[in-house]
Amino acid sequence: GQQLNQSPQSMFIQEGEDVSMNCTSSSIFNTWLWYKQDPGEGPVLLIALYKAGELTSNGRLTAQFGITRKDSFLNISASIPSDVGIYFCAGSQGAQKLVFGQGTRLTINP
């Protein structure tokens, strides 16, 4: 089946550092989504991308839809303690199904 390769699997950073994670696929997607999941909660939508090359920001978060439509990245600038959690990328081809990456676990040392 389709797979999204999300990297890195985990990150240990200092507060204030910038973070970058990405997802790649061998398949083309029409939509790329980035979610964050905190312990005991459901995934929360951070950013949705709909067009190849699109660059979208949400506060300190910036995400881009790759030109080839097979990849996306998420950057977090000036990390703070509440950024801790698991970040998932997800791709959609418009058929209701989302394909998820394996997640990036972010840990921040104060």
Partner 1 sequence: DTEVTQTPKHLVMGMTNKKSLKCEQHMGHRAMYWYKQKAKKPPELMFVYSYEKLSINESVPSRFSPECPNSSLLNLHLHALQPEDSALYLCASSLNRVQPQHFGDGTRLSIL
Among 8, 58, 97, 107, binds partner 1 (CB under 8 A): 97
13 in Cβ contact with 107 (< 8 Å): yes
In the bound state with partner 1, the residue whose beta carbon lies nearer, of 30 and 62, is: 30
Q: Is 63 in the site for partner 1 (CB under 8 A)?
A: no
Pairing of strands 10-14, 55-58: unpaired
Among 41, 81, 82, 109, binds partner 1 (CB under 8 A): 41
In the bound state with partner 1, the residue whose beta carbon lies nearer, of 70 and 105, is: 105
Q: Is 92 in the site for partner 1 (CB under 8 A)?
A: yes
Q: Is 52 in the site for partner 1 (CB under 8 A)?
A: no
In the bound state with partner 1, the residue whose beta carbon lies nearer, of 2 and 15, is: 2
Give residues in contact with partner 1 (CB under 8 A): 30-31, 33, 35, 40-45, 48, 86, 88, 92, 94-98, 100-103, 105
